Amino acid sequence: MTTDVALPDIREAERSLDRLEALAESLHNEHGRVRSSLGAEREFLVLAPEARDRLEELSKALFGKILDEVELNLTHGIREILGQDRVVFTEREVKNNRLQIHFQIQNRGRDDEVEDILTGQGGSVCNILSVGLRLIALSQLPEEHHRRFLVLDEQDCWLKPALVPKFMKIINEIADKLSLQLLVISHHPLDLFAGAADRIFELKPDRERGAVVTRVK
């Protein structure tokens, strides 16, 4: 039995076969590339825990010296202003590939107990530390993008009046050392700032003008 097949049908079948062979070769090559990439990813995943631990060590080492200096400066400020033997220290850990820093304060006169910074000394500790950290942070910013100027709005509100001169003296010294300009707003008596401020202005309410600013130093 003889079957006649049209010549165009044979050629179309040959072209289809060529396309299928090319597709098969392309898929085979892609499969090889995927297997190779998968192997590299598996090798990376094996090394990932070790790499993460190493990065944590490097992060702590990189910022360790800076934080040590910060701890010393803040401890000095606390002791000078409050006149008490307290030590500022940090707890450092890496979470989600980021170094997290938790500030703590220890009272050496009470069995080395760790105090709550937010409530210690009725909020005075928090005020002092926040000023110190802002001064340090501002000093690290590039001068071409940030003016070395800081406004402290009633930052001494939780301090006893007797401690305000010490507070002003030490932040003035730090600002001078870091070449920073400070504007301090306070409700304490002006004489408490006389020894630590370059210029002092008094703001008083006025019925006609709303407020009057007078320079007293």
Chain centre to alpha carbon of residue 29:
48
Domains of the chain (ranges, CATH numbers):
56-215 (3.40.50.300)
Predicted pLDDT of residue 3 = 52
Query: In this predicted model, what pLDDT tens digit does every residue of 76-89 receive, in sequence order?
Result: 888 888 888 889 98
CB-CB contact of 66 with 89 (8 Å): no
Closest to 163 measured CA to CA, from 128, 198, 136: 128
Cα 206 from Cα 216, distance rounded (Å): 17
Tokens 């010294």 sit at which residue? 173
Which residues neighbour 184 within 8 Å (Cβ) at sequence distance 6 or greater?
Answer: 152, 155, 156, 168, 193, 197
Instruction: Report the predicted TM-score, pTM, of the whole model to 2 decimal places.
Output: 0.63
Query: In this predicted model, what pLDDT tens digit does every residue of 138-160 receive, in sequence order?
Result: 888 888 888 889 999 998 888 88
Predicted pLDDT of residue 183 = 93
Predicted pLDDT of residue 64 = 72
Residue 93 tokens read as 């850990």
Predicted pLDDT of residue 56 = 66
- The 3-class SS string of the chain reads CCCCCCHHHHHHHHHHHHHHHHHHHHHHHHHHHHHHHHHHHHHHHHHHHHHHHHHHHHHHHHHHHHHHHHHHHHHHHHHHHHCCCEEEEEEEEEECCEEEEEEEEEECCCCCEEECCCCHHHHHHHHHHHHHHHHHHHHHCCCCCCCCEEEEECCCCCCCHHHHHHHHHHHHHHHHHCCCEEEEECCCCHHHHCCCCCCCEEEEEECCCEEEEEECC
Predicted pLDDT of residue 58 = 65
Residue 67 tokens read as 């934080």
Predicted pLDDT of residue 10 = 77
C-beta neighbour count of 153 within 10 angstroms: 9
Which residues neighbour 67 within 8 Å (Cβ) at sequence distance 6 or greater?
Answer: 90, 92, 101
Predicted pLDDT of residue 212 = 92
List beta partners, residue 100: 93
Length of the chain: 217
Predicted pLDDT of residue 6 = 60
Instruction: Using 70 as the pLDDT threshold, list the residues of the chain that sit under it.
Output: 1-8, 45, 47-48, 51-52, 54-56, 58-63, 97, 109-110
